[in-house]
Structure 1
Amino acid sequence: MQGLKVKLNEIDAFLCDRRDLGILGVTEHWCRDGELALYSPHDLYLASSFCRVAKRGGGSCIFLRNKLVAKELRKLVDLSVESVCEISAVELESPRVIICCIYRPPDQSNFDVFFQRLEELINDVLKYNKMVVIMGDLNVHFEATHNAVYTHQRRLIEDLISSFGLHLSHNEITRRPYFGQTGEPSSLDVFLTNFERQWYDSFVSDTGFSDHQGVELRLFHEVQSPSPSTITFRKSKDGNIAQLRFCLSSQTWFSVYGEADVGGATNEFLRIFLWALNLACPWVKKRAATGNNSSRVPFDEVLVQLRDDYVFFRELALSTGDEEFSQRARECRGRYRHAVQSFKRKCNDEKILTATNKSRASWDVVAAELNSRSKNSVDMSGFDSEGFSRSFSEVFNRRLPSDATEQFYACLSSAPSSRGGFSLRPVSVEEVYSAICSLKSSKSADYFGISSWLVKRVADLVVEPLSFIINWCFESGCFPDCLKISEITPIPKKGDRASYDGFRPISKLPIFAKIMEKLVLSQLMDFIEGGEVLHPRQYGFRKKRSTASAACSVILDVLQSLEDRETTSIELYDLSKAFDLVPFNLLLAKLAYYGFDSCALAFFTNYLHGWKQVVNFNGRRSSEEDIPCGIKQGSGLGPCLFIIYINDLPFHAQHVSSFSLFADDITAVVRGSSFELQRENAVHIKSLVEGWCSVNALIINSDKTQTVNFLLNGPLSQSATLLGLEIDNRLSWAKHIDSLAAKLSSCNFMIRRLRGCVSEDVLR
């Protein structure tokens, strides 16, 4: 502000038009201790301040509307260092929020001390376990991208606040030079907060009385809670499982073995299984948990007794005034608090240790500790299952003509065919049992209400009839129609969720179909790996290969090209909805080319065709929609079939470029002895890839195709994301380090929050 005294009238005029402003943070008030209270703006009072002693200028303070009640937090103010980090801080009584205002003078030499004090401030503030808003002029250039010093300081601050679970409200320009001032437009004034973004608006405004623009944070906008909903699930306690096992153990399965065809046998098997399941594990409804209620630690009888003891002695102490009762109450309270903390740690430990996804379980515990509203809280009242079904089926309207043309076979013939043929061999009961046991234990149910967790508990009772059906399918080249149904659940994407486009489909296939897929996949992978069918630069969905090995192959090619003094670039092609648009007839033509016998081809023909999908939303199912093309999401076989489908692409273009493929991520390293030749090669490679996609009925998304031209001695001007790695044109890894630092800061925050609510063994 550069002088509160001389600008008081302007501030008063501004506040008269802004009755909605309840808190005013001021930096550079230039007042001495004792003067500030005399220069409070109209209808505001001084709640906290820091004033310089040794030098003139500087300072920070917080003014509040008279209707707001707060106390100054002197412990935080005392962290101030004059001319380095000048802090004022208050705790509002209602709402319970801690507000801090910081001023750091624009002296680059003091940054290390300022950074240390800021870390101490945030650490101490969060001990209050309240919502926090830290505002002020930090003189850190949050807009910086090119100046090395400014960028380094910005990254340090961003990583620091992220490690404590805070974030920046904005990075808009707040200072623009005028009247001959030097410098560039800068973002120096910010809010740091742990409020989730849906709880506030942040914007820059022109106050008219400062050389910086004002930064405003409008808190407590109403966030619409999701309407209460019910969930339906099967009862699956120990008693239910015991009854299910009893019902299944009494079955002879003769009716399954006596059916005339495999479709009838599968239908009969499902009928018997569902009869027993519905009898033993009936469907029940309950209200869905909201917020973090599901993460709350329950009280056991010991805790209830300890709490009752404390309340009893406290009431006696209050009614009698006896010091002995007061002492007993304090002792009981200490034991009660210790027991609650221990029990809480035990429950949290169990939740994390028994979770399939331990990282997600850890974040759930952190969210419960913070009592934060789920970030995925979305008003779903305007959506229905039929709308989702139409939205998710629109992708099939983008299908291209899929005739097996001469160009198609010309591309395919560039790939070597298999040394031998592929046929489906019979499987043993032991193999089927092993496949069942290898399923991930999940209580998420399929279209029939059957979960893998449940099937694994009765595997020994159903494995024989299931083995009979699977072998019959392999021998007859059939896949049962009753298993060709997938159930889709809509999941919100990041960003705008106001329309159906803001959701992505998560598909669940029948559990018994997934068991059969596992057995087919095992044989198929043995064939394509042993027969050297796949291109060596195919890295997706293969054993002992990963995104890391795919990225390494690209980087090594680039480095070798640069060592050879060649002009080098990488082209990252993005295929639009590639899995969803694979034509069945072209995929089957490729399977035949690679040596699949007639029975195996019949099985895959039957397996691919005739599928339907339904959307389950809020307990209501949509009507069934046909799936006319594509690799089914949630399928175990799908990824393997896709890499077979795309396998001839790198063979087709390998004479002009080295390719690396990870599923539908296609990367080409383009080389040339000169810039002109390298550009010609890039155009030629793009033409080859586009031509291959055209005859294979796939679509390149040109808007998402990325190019990086490597120039080790030039400026950082290009970057792209390759399988999670941020690659720039200088191979400096600066952007990837920034991305990794942000992730580590997030993990650091999680560890900080877990430290007090889980045991040390779990924390390690």
Structure 2
Amino acid sequence: MAGEEGADVLAITEHWKCYCRTQGKHGGSAIYSKEKFKCTERTDYSLLSVSNIIECSAAQIYLENYKILIVCIYRPNTQPVADVDQFLEVLRIILEKCTVEKGKFILVGDFNLDILSDSTNVSEFKSLLENFNLDFTNFVPTRPASGSCLDNIITPLPGQTRVLEYHISDHCALKFVANSLYSNHINKRKIKRRIINDGTIANFVQKLTSINWDDIYTCTSDPNQLWNIFHERFSKTFEQCFPKVEVYLSSNEKNIKVTPDVEHLKDILDKLYIVSFARPEFKATYISIKKQYDNSLSQKKKDHFNSLIRIQKISQRLHGG
């Protein structure tokens, strides 16, 4: 099927492989890509999986000057352990992580929620996506026997989704074709930026510690001269470790900037959420931190839009509007 359709990436749910589950049978989520692509597993997403609630796998696909995150999700629907509220809470965390990525993303999978129905669960599902300015790309039934649309693809990327019937499962397959990923760079502005991350910082610190500073500590000459020597060595090392490289200005740059304190709070929140399943005593702490995070994020949005309004008003006054 994949070869016939010319698929570059294949996302599969309910593959029944044992490596995706520590208990129970069937289920599973997996992603496969062609060997021509550089592909890395994103375990930070798979760790969000919760037994009987949500199974998640993720992979980062690297194209020419472009990368895209693929997240494959399966929601088990075994009653009575299936918990839609808990599923939507984990999905919210996944969507938050996706929206702060440095590239585009595609969520695909079997959500086991019929979006053609008007149930409360489906309404909450749709509302969650609307909060991230996202929507389903498919509204055609994917389970012919029941006429329900349980499988979908969710992405900010422009493209087309088709339902494929190969009669190898009680669910149909979905094929998403993105609109010319490579040509997306044509209209994007290039900028020069220093790549600063944990790896480059560690390299910088290591190089600084290897420099011999004895002459600065022991020399009794002019302090200004000592400062110049220090500054020259420090700056040279800095430029070596953080050279400016040419990158494309992503559309994400236009989004609301999240400050390091909010990012730190989000990191704590994700870890507390996972820990709280094994240690219920952390649930209250999770709820408290979540409230702080939501309030902080809400304030950032208010500040962002207030700034836009002020800029617009100043522009109008300058142009006599």
TM-score (norm 1): 0.26
3-state SS of 2:83 partner = helix
2:45 equivalent to 1:76: yes
Matched, 1:120 2:93: yes
Distance 1:55 1:330 in 2: 57
Q: Which residue of the partner structure matches residue 102 of structure 1?
A: 73
1:121-175 deviation line (CA, Å, top 9, x unaligned):
1112223232010100000111113xxxxx2222211221221232211211100
8 A contact 2:207–2:237 mirrored in 1: no
Aligned to 1:93, the other structure's residue is in SS state strand
Counterpart check, 1:204 vs 2:93: no
Deviations 1:53-73 (A, max 9, x none): 111111111111111211111
1:142 matched to which residue of 2? 115
Please, which of 74, 85, 89 is the counterpart of residue 54 of structure 2? 85
Q: Identify the range of structure 1 (319-328 vs 115-124) with the bigger mean alpha-carbon deviation.
A: 319-328
SS at match of 1:116: helix
8 A contact 1:98–1:130 mirrored in 2: yes
Deviation track 1:327-366 (CA, whole Å, cap 9, x = no partner) reads 9459979xx9xxxxxxxxxxxxxxxxxxxxxxxxxxxxx8
Q: Say which of 5, 18, 22 aligns to 2:8.
A: 22
Q: CA separation of 1:90/1:222 partners in 2, compared to 1, >3 Å: closer, same or farther? A: closer
Kindly indicate whether residue 176 of structure 2 is the aligned counterpart of residue 214 of structure 1: no
For 1:64, the equivalent position in structure 2 comes to: 33
Q: Do the aligned partners of 1:755 and 1:763 also contact (CA within 8 Å) in 2? A: no
Amino acid at match of 1:106: N
Deviations along 1:196-230, whole A, 9 cap, x unmatched? x3xx12111112312111011012337999xxxxx
Q: SS at the partner of 1:17?
A: helix
Aligned to 1:168, what secondary structure does the other structure show?
Answer: coil
Shift in Å at residue 762 of structure 1?
3.8
Larger RCO of the pair (alpha carbons < 8 Å, separation 6+) = 1
Q: Return the alpha-carbon distance in structure 2 between the equivalents of residues 65 and 77 of structure 1.
A: 21
Q: Contact conserved, 1:58 with 1:83, CA < 8 A, in 2?
A: no
* Equivalent residue number for residue 755 of structure 1: 300
Q: Report which of the two structures shows the higher radius of gyration computed on alpha carbons.
A: 1
Closer, same or farther: CA 758–319 of 1 in aligned 2, 3 Å: same
Corresponding position of 1:190: 152
Q: Residue 75 and residue 323 in structure 1: after superposition, are their counterparts in 2 closer, same or farther (change >3 A)?
A: farther
Q: Give me the identity figure in percent.
A: 21
In structure 2, C-alpha distance between the alignment counterparts of 1:152 and 1:118, rounded to whole Å? 17
**Map of 1:165 onto structure 2:** 133
Q: What does 1:385-404 correspond to in 2, within 5 Å?
A: none
Question: Is contact 1:169-1:192 (8 Å) kept?
Answer: yes
How many residues get paired? 228
Alignment correspondent of 2:272 = none
2: CA distance, partners of 1:369 / 1:120: 21
What do residues 417-449 of structure 1 show as CA deviations (whole Å, max 9, x unaligned)?
Answer: xxxxxxxxxxxxxxxxxxxxxxxxxxxxxxxxx
Separation (CA, whole Å) in 2 of partners of 1:68 and 1:127 = 23
8 Å CA contact 1:22, 1:65 repeated in 2: yes
* CA distance 1:89–1:323, shift in 2 (3 Å): farther
The letter for the 1-side match of 2:75 is R
- The equivalent residue for 1:153 is 121
C-alpha distance in structure 2 between counterparts of 1:69 and 1:131, whole Å = 16
Query: TM-score under structure 2 normalisation?
Result: 0.59
Structure 1: runs of 5 or more not aligned: 1-13, 34-50, 146-150, 178-183, 226-289, 304-313, 337-365, 372-750
CA contact (8 A) 1:292 1:367 kept: no
Please say if 1:31 is aligned against 2:4: no
Aligned 8 A contact 2:11 2:30 in 1:
yes
Cα drift, residue 106 of structure 1: 2.0
